[in-house]
Amino acid sequence: MSRDLETKLRVVIESMTDGIYMTDAVGICIACNYAFKRITGIVTDIVGKHVTYLLEQKLISEAVTVETIETRRHVSKIIKYPSGCEALVTGNPVLDEKGDLIAVVSVVRDLSGLNALKDQLNKSKELAKQYVETLRKFNSPVNMPIDKLIVRDPKMQRVLDVILRIADSDVTVMLYGESGVGKGMIATLIHEQSNRGEKGQLIKIDCGAIPGHLLESELFGYEPGAFTGARREGKIGLFELANHGTLFLDEIGELPLALQVKLLNVLQDRRILRVGGTRPIPIDVRILCATNRNLEVMVADGTFRQDLYYRLNVVPITILPLRERKEDILVLTVSFLDRFNKKYQHVVTASPEVIDYFLEYSWPGNVRELENTIERLVVLNQSGLIRSEDLPEKIRAHFQSVVTSYNIEAGPKMLHLKTAVAVIERQLIEQALRQNETLAASAKRLGIDVSTLLRKCKKYGIKRANILARTP
């Protein structure tokens, strides 16, 4: 081997983070790198010494090299060294063209980092398990399965109390709330908790999803030959399907004015008339409605009938958006993680910093957005632990913008305690970066190591160049 090639090989070996220990065919050390010494704690010069010397001096407790020489096969063992490091050691036999052993290369991989990650993962799993057990012990006033309805926020518990009190009556209910807050689930709850849950079905229809000229026949049905393209035998409508049960009219604000009149007549007379029919059909149906629009404004604009509004708005119930019931975010997160872990046969938990991001995010899509986000995170996760860098960019950017712009002294808004800590932490990091010339000095000033400083800079979106550029 030329001296130049030998020099290059030594450079390559020394650049490796895994320990390298090489012997000849009889076990005499011919090379080892710095990583090997760091992991094992061996500081003396061992080149030229037989592997048994290391055993005799108790510098190592086991030697895969000996077994590799004897078997001429790959040998792997987990060995704990006097340094305290636990490592996976693999002995690799090097054979010539004739199959004779010429050397043994042992690779020593430090497991300390992996073990620390494993411990952290186990702690996270245990924490998640405790959260789930807490949820299961929580006595929901509606006795619903945990994966159907998660409510811990006091304001939402008051809403549920109202729902339980009116569930077994026939009073008409109007559910208000943004898209994704769970209006359909609340409608299901009202139906199941009423005596109609045993006598009839809950029939749902989205008034905004069906064109107006088809919506009438969907709601009221039609007689044979009522119009071109109609079924020869006619069709039963949703009101008749819901007889003795409940009809849930979602997005009621999208109902055309012409149908609003017919719906008003049904509510008054408790009868329907099929399209093309002449014989009124009596019905026994409870009406539940939902909307994300302001019906009072629509009444003032003339796009929603005032008389129908008062007929439907007997018991108005507002379902709060997720950003206004932060206490539900944690329990929903744990519940969704549990559900999707079972669905996809994964074991994934969320780190505490991910919960911080979730608590500060505004969730415009509400519970549905949180559910979809967690499902995506579980499916894509490979490490078993969801970290902040795994989150969608919009969630990370929102958290960073809050932490960056918030002024604790001047700001009237109350922050989640952990977010407030993050605000102070970011300010201290920026101050340290401005006042110190190097990252090492900044980290020392903060009492942390450089790797921790870099990780926190990434978390808060801090760029040292930008900080220095703003320094006067």
User: Is the pTM value of this prediction over 0.85?
Assistant: no
- Of 319, 331, 309, 368, give the one whose Cα is nearest residue 162: 319
Checking DSSP bridges between strand 221-222 and strand 235-236, what pairing results, if any?
Answer: antiparallel
Domain boundaries in the chain?
A: 3-114, 154-319, 349-470
Amino acid at 29: C
Compute and round to an integer the Cα radius of gyration of the chain: 34
Instruction: Tell me what pLDDT residue 288 has.
Output: 97
Instruction: Tell me what pLDDT residue 57 has.
Output: 86
The tens digit of pLDDT for each residue in 312-352 reads 999 999 999 998 988 888 889 988 999 999 999 999 998 88
Classify residue 325 as exposed, middle or buried by CB count within 10 Å of its CB (0-12, 13-18, 19+): buried
Q: Which fold has domain 349-470?
A: Helicase, Ruva Protein; domain 3 (1.10.8)
Instruction: Tell me what pLDDT residue 370 has.
Output: 95
Checking DSSP bridges between strand 173-176 and strand 29-32, what pairing results, if any?
Answer: unpaired
Give, in words, the CATH class of 154-319: alpha beta
Q: Residue 29 gets which letter from DSSP?
A: E
Q: Please give the structure tokens belonging to residue 32.
A: 């080892």
Q: Please give the structure tokens belonging to residue 51.
A: 């592997």
CA distances from 161 to 81, 167, 189, 200, 225 (A): 62, 10, 12, 24, 48
Over the chain (472 residues), the average pLDDT of each successive run of 10 is 69 83 93 88 89 88 90 88 84 89 91 65 58 47 47 85 90 95 92 91 93 89 80 88 96 94 94 90 96 95 95 95 88 90 92 85 93 95 90 86 57 55 76 80 82 78 66 54
Q: Which CATH superfamily is domain 3-114 in?
A: PAS domain (3.30.450.20)
